[in-house]
């Protein structure tokens, strides 16, 4: 057996696989093609021939193959490279029979595949008794030969394998092939090799495109042998390109087989396919050439990528889609209850469990829900908010769960996905969950338990992956006792509980929040005033006020106050009577100010406050619970006690300027 060597592919590379007598015949003509092709001759048959051919194909050592009889059929059925057959013509058979007739008038003829019925008509002309046999395997060839020998035939015509078998048993063998048949096969192989090279160039271009696709792609021929595969598909099937090319796809992965696509000539689009432990969306399409099926191609896309794209499309199509705008860094406050709530919320953000946020109206429940979402690993996915108390029951049901076309009168053509679908992979914030109708609570419970949604008018469950954050100002245990809330839904929602403190429990945060909110409204209205200066005389009342509406009410007061300052150039020019008229809640006699009576102050408390605030009278007044003007009056009336000199020493030692004494125009205002 001649060893294979790599050559520069300037000329077609032809590999001829035969056996002994055929190889001798080939060697007698190959010199005629020394300038036109590089030809390798291998003496093998059947399995050994196939193994040799596969190796040369995988290593790209041959452009085309030549063989005859059974070998040719085996190679054609297995290789993706072109195979030229050495064809035995009727003339070749006639010459071989005439040659055999010189030896005996009884001639055995063994051919591959089928016997030739037309040969019976020329027996008489040849004056020969001809007995035909046919074979399809090595064992059948041997049986045919032994049968003729047992019948007394002394000469047998056939292939190289048949001739070798005959002569092994002392019978003369005549080779049916001719030099002309070998020459024609070589010519055919050279032509096929050039065509294969052109196809290879086109394939390389296509392959280059395939290798850059994110989708997994594989193409097979009509026998389901892999002809093209990209890296993404190699990863899916767990094979290398070398291991895949030329092998049947069904043998590499039964789940990825394209046999039914080829056999039934049927296309499948968006079919759900499981390969290994992953779920993919598959497109399987048959390939046709000149009106007949020539193979098939399959593309795979991970289901998760499809779901993500679907979410993005649904999000884009939904105008005014709410997103999570707030982060923990934007939530102001330093009081102990508030800091504890923030720390708890940040811990919850690191999980995907359901959260129930409780607290009075206006404490910032949605603000915290958005911050939790933005601090979670779902932050790049949708955040959908829905107020359960703001919709009638039927409208709330369709908004939350969606509906199919024709589910009710006026339903949108094609149906509509619900917010739970739109929020897939993200977060749904259900505000005022305590006001959700009991009938919808049952459906919501199923979503939380089964992770799937059924649209109104539909029967097909739709898997959803959403995190639910619910909020309520109600005490849900009371609602359960009243039969207005399901206990099983409560326990499903109350996995992680976050209680937000009311503003009156965040006494230390009122000043910070008021200044921040007012400054925001001033900046938005392009009013060149400082919030801190405007609020200074009002701060004792703001701190003393009970704030039943919590932060939302404080925001309301700040916005009203900003509207009064539109035409003002300085805080002193604010109209005292206008402010009292438009902020009646904080000027109500029921607001429990500590006192604005200078006589209620004592030396030790004032001294302690001034020392603690490093002589800052505004801060000292806030700490004492009186207005800045009241503290100023008290200091003026106690000059004999030596406190002013103490104040100056405190101020001087801290390096601060005493900017806390109110101007003449504001003395007595807002107290």
One DSSP character per residue, 103-146 reads: T-SEEEEEEES---GGGGGGHHHHT-EEEEEEESSHHHHHHHHH
Phi first, then psi: give them for residue 89, nearest 5 degrees.
-80, 165
Beta bridge partners of 297: 219, 285
Distance, in Å, from the CA atom of 41 to the CA atom of 65, rounded to the nearest integer, reads: 10
How many residues does the structure list for the chain? 671
Lowest mean pLDDT among 89-98, 158-167, 244-253, 411-420: 411-420
pLDDT for 349: 95
Structure-model confidence comparison of residues 128 and 10, the more confident one: 128
pLDDT for 666: 37
Lowest mean pLDDT among 9-13, 437-441, 540-544: 9-13
Local confidence band at 413 (pLDDT 50, 70, 90 cut-offs): low
Distance, in Å, from the CA atom of 600 to the CA atom of 225, rounded to the nearest integer, reads: 98
pLDDT in tens, 227-258: 888 999 999 999 998 899 889 999 999 989 99
What's the CA angle centered on 35, arms 34 and 38, to 5 degrees? 55
- Residue 499: pLDDT above 70? yes
Beta bridge partners of 283: 299
Distance, in Å, from the CA atom of 122 to the CA atom of 98, rounded to the nearest integer, reads: 12
pLDDT in tens, 260-284: 999 998 888 888 888 888 889 899 9
pLDDT for 69: 83
Q: Which burial class, exposed, middle or buried, applies to 48 when counting CB atoms under 10 A from its CB (0-12, 13-18, 19+)? A: middle
Distance, in Å, from the CA atom of 419 to the CA atom of 228, rounded to the nearest integer, reads: 42
pLDDT for 534: 85
Question: What is the DSSP secondary structure assignment for residue 408, as one 8-state letter?
Answer: S
Phi first, then psi: give them for residue 278, nearest 5 degrees.
-115, 150
pLDDT for 211: 78
pLDDT in tens, 189-231: 999 998 888 877 777 777 777 777 888 999 999 999 998 889 9
Distance, in Å, from the CA atom of 185 to the CA atom of 82, rounded to the nearest integer, reads: 12
Distance, in Å, from the CA atom of 516 to the CA atom of 68, rounded to the nearest integer, reads: 92
Phi first, then psi: give them for residue 318, nearest 5 degrees.
-95, 105
Q: What is the mean pLDDT of residues 549-563?
A: 91
Q: What is the mean pLDDT of residues 106-112?
A: 91
Tell me which residue of 52, 153, 144 sits closest to 103, measured CA to CA. Answer: 153
Distance, in Å, from the CA atom of 356 to the CA atom of 342, rounded to the nearest integer, reads: 14
Question: What is the DSSP secondary structure assignment for residue 351, as one 8-state letter?
Answer: S
Q: Which residues of 5-37 are buried (b: 16+ CB within 10 A; e: fewer)?
A: eeeeeebbbbbbbbbebbbebbeeebeebeeeb
Q: Which burial class, exposed, middle or buried, applies to 56 when counting CB atoms under 10 A from its CB (0-12, 13-18, 19+)? A: buried
Query: If you average pLDDT over every residue of the chain, what do you get?
Result: 83
Q: Angle at which helices 336-349 and 365-374 pack, to 10 degrees?
A: 40
Q: What is the mean pLDDT of residues 288-302?
A: 89
Distance, in Å, from the CA atom of 387 to the CA atom of 396, rounded to the nearest integer, reads: 9
Tell me which residue of 564, 586, 559 sits closest to 575, measured CA to CA. Answer: 564
Whole-model pTM: value is 0.47
Distance, in Å, from the CA atom of 596 to the CA atom of 382, rounded to the nearest integer, reads: 51
pLDDT for 393: 86
Distance, in Å, from the CA atom of 387 to the CA atom of 366, rounded to the nearest integer, reads: 10
Local confidence band at 125 (pLDDT 50, 70, 90 cut-offs): confident
pLDDT in tens, 60-80: 899 999 998 888 888 988 888
pLDDT for 410: 54
Delineate the domains of the chain, giving CATH numbers in brackets. 13-86 (3.40.50.2300), 90-176 (3.40.50.10660), 213-305 (3.30.450.20), 328-501 (3.40.50.300), 504-582 (1.10.8.60), 598-666 (no CATH)
Q: Which burial class, exposed, middle or buried, applies to 114 when counting CB atoms under 10 A from its CB (0-12, 13-18, 19+)? A: exposed
Phi first, then psi: give them for residue 20, nearest 5 degrees.
40, -90
Instruction: For 30-59, give the secondary structure using H, E and C.
Output: HHHHCCCCEEEEEECCHHHHHHHHHHHHHC
- Residue 475: pLDDT above 90? yes
Task: Collect all residues with Cβ–Cβ distance below 8 Å to 626 and sequence separation of at least 6.
Answer: 540, 594, 595, 596, 598, 600, 601
Distance, in Å, from the CA atom of 486 to the CA atom of 479, rounded to the nearest integer, reads: 8
- Residue 599: pLDDT above 60? no
Q: What is the mean pLDDT of residues 434-457?
A: 90
pLDDT for 585: 85
Q: In this structure, is the dihedral angle defined by the CA atoms of residues 586, 592, 597 and 603, taken in order, positive or negative?
A: negative
| Residue-by-residue DSSP string for 424-493 | TTSEEEEETGGGS-HHHHHHHHHHHHHSEE--BT--S-EE---EEEEEESS-HHHHHHTTSS-HHHHHHH
Gap between the terminal Cα atoms of the chain: 113
Report yes or no: 278 and 256 within 8 Å, Cβ to Cβ: no
**Ramachandran category for residue 539: left, alpha or beta (phi over 0 → left; psi -120 to 50 → alpha):** alpha
Share of residues in the chain with pLDDT > 90 (%):
40
pLDDT for 661: 40
Strands 452-453 and 268-275: unpaired
Report yes or no: 1 and 58 within 8 Å, Cβ to Cβ: no
Task: Collect all residues with Cβ–Cβ distance below 8 Å to 194 and sequence separation of at least 6.
Answer: 12
Report yes or no: 445 and 486 within 8 Å, Cβ to Cβ: yes
Distance, in Å, from the CA atom of 595 to the CA atom of 607, rounded to the nearest integer, reads: 18
Distance, in Å, from the CA atom of 87 to the CA atom of 78, rounded to the nearest integer, reads: 19
Task: Collect all residues with Cβ–Cβ distance below 8 Å to 68 and sequence separation of at least 6.
Answer: 18, 22, 85, 86, 87, 88, 159, 160, 177, 185
- Residue 668: pLDDT above 60? no
Phi first, then psi: give them for residue 569, nearest 5 degrees.
-105, -15
Q: In this structure, is the dihedral angle defined by the CA atoms of residues 264, 267, 270 and 274, taken in order, positive or negative?
A: positive
pLDDT for 358: 96
List, in sequence order, every beta strand (DSSP E) within 529-584.
Answer: none
Task: Collect all residues with Cβ–Cβ distance below 8 Å to 497 and sequence separation of at least 6.
Answer: 355, 356, 358
Share of residues in the chain with pLDDT > 70 (%):
85
Q: Is 250 helix (H, G, I), strand (E, B) or coil?
A: helix
Task: Collect all residues with Cβ–Cβ distance below 8 Å to 397 and sequence separation of at least 6.
Answer: 440, 443, 456
Q: Is 494 helix (H, G, I), strand (E, B) or coil?
A: coil
Distance, in Å, from the CA atom of 580 to the CA atom of 465, rounded to the nearest integer, reads: 52
């Amino acid at each position: 057996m001649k060893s294979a060597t790599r050559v520069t592919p300037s000329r077609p590379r032809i590999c001829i696989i035969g056996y002994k007598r055929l190889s001798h015949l080939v060697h007698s003509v190959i010199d005629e093609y020394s300038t036109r092709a590089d030809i390798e001759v291998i003496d093998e048959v059947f399995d050994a021939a196939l193994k040799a051919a596969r190796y040369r194909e995988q290593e790209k050592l041959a452009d085309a193959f030549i063989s005859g009889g059974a070998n040719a059929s085996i190679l054609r059925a297995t290789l993706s490279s072109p195979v030229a057959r050495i064809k035995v013509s009727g003339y070749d058979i006639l010459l071989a029979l005439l040659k055999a007739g010189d030896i005996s008038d009884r001639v055995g003829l063994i051919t591959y595949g089928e016997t030739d019925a037309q040969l019976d008509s020329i027996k008489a002309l040849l004056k020969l008794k001809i007995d035909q046999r046919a074979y399809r395997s090595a064992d059948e060839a041997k049986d045919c030969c032994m049968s003729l020998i047992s019948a007394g035939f002394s000469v047998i015509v056939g292939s190289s394998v048949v001739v070798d078998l005959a002569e092994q048993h002392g019978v003369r063998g005549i080779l049916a092939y001719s030099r002309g048949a070998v020459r024609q096969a070589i010519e055919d192989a050279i032509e096929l090799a050039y065509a294969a090279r052109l196809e290879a160039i086109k394939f390389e271009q296509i392959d280059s495109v395939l290798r850059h696709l994110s989708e997994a792609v594989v193409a097979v021929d009509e026998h389901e042998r892999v002809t093209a595969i990209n890296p993404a598909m190699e990863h899916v099937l767990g094979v290398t390109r070398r291991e895949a090319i030329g092998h049947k796809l069904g043998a590499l992965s039964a789940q990825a087989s394209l046999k039914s696509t080829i056999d039934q000539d049927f296309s499948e689009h968006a079919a759900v396919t499981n390969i290994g432990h992953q779920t993919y969306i598959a497109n399987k399409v048959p390939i046709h050439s000149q009106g007949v099926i020539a193979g098939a191609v399959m593309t795979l896309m991970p289901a998760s990528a499809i779901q993500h794209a679907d979410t993005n499309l649904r999000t884009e199509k939904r105008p005014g889609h709410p997103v999570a705008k707030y982060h923990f860094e934007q939530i102001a406050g330093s009081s102990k209850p508030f800091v504890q709530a923030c720390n708890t919320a940040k811990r919850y953000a690191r999980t995907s469990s359901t959260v129930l946020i409780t607290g009075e109206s206006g404490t910032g429940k949605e603000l915290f829900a958005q911050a939790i979402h933005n601090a979670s690993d779902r932050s790049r996915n949708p955040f959908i908010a829905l107020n359960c108390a703001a919709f009638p029951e039927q409208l709330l049901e369709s908004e939350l769960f969606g509906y199919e076309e024709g589910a009710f009168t006026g339903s949108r053509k094609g149906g509509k996905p619900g917010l739970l679908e739109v929020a897939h992979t993200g977060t749904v914030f259900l505000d005022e969950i305590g006001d959700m109708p009991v009938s919808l609570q049952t459906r919501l419970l199923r979503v939380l338990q089964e992770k799937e949604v059924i649209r109104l008018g539909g029967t097909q469950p739709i898997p959803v992956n959403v995190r639910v954050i619910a909020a309520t100002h109600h005490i849900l245990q009371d609602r359960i006792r009243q039969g207005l809330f399901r206990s099983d839904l409560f326990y499903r929602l109350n996995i992680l509980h976050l209680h937000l403190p009311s503003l009156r429990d965040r006494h230390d945060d009122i000043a910070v929040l008021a200044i921040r909110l007012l400054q925001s409204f001033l900046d938005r209205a392009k009013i060149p005033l400082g919030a801190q200066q405007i609020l200074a005389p009002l701060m004792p009342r703001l701190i003393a006020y009970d704030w039943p509406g919590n932060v939302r009410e404080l925001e309301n007061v700040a916005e009203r106050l900003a509207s009064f300052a539109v035409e003002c150039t300085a805080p002193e020019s604010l109209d005292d009577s206008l402010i009292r008229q438009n902020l009646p809640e904080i000027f109500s006699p029921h607001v429990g100010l500590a006192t604005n009576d200078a006589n209620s102050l004592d030396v030790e408390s004032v001294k302690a406050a001034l020392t603690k605030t490093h002589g800052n009278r505004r801060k000292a007044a806030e700490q004492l619970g009186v207005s800045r003007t009241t503290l100023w009056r008290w200091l003026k009336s106690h000059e004999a006690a030596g406190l002013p000199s103490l104040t100056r020493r405190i101020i001087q030692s801290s390096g601060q300027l005493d900017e806390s004494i109110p101007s003449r125009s504001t003395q007595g205002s807002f107290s």
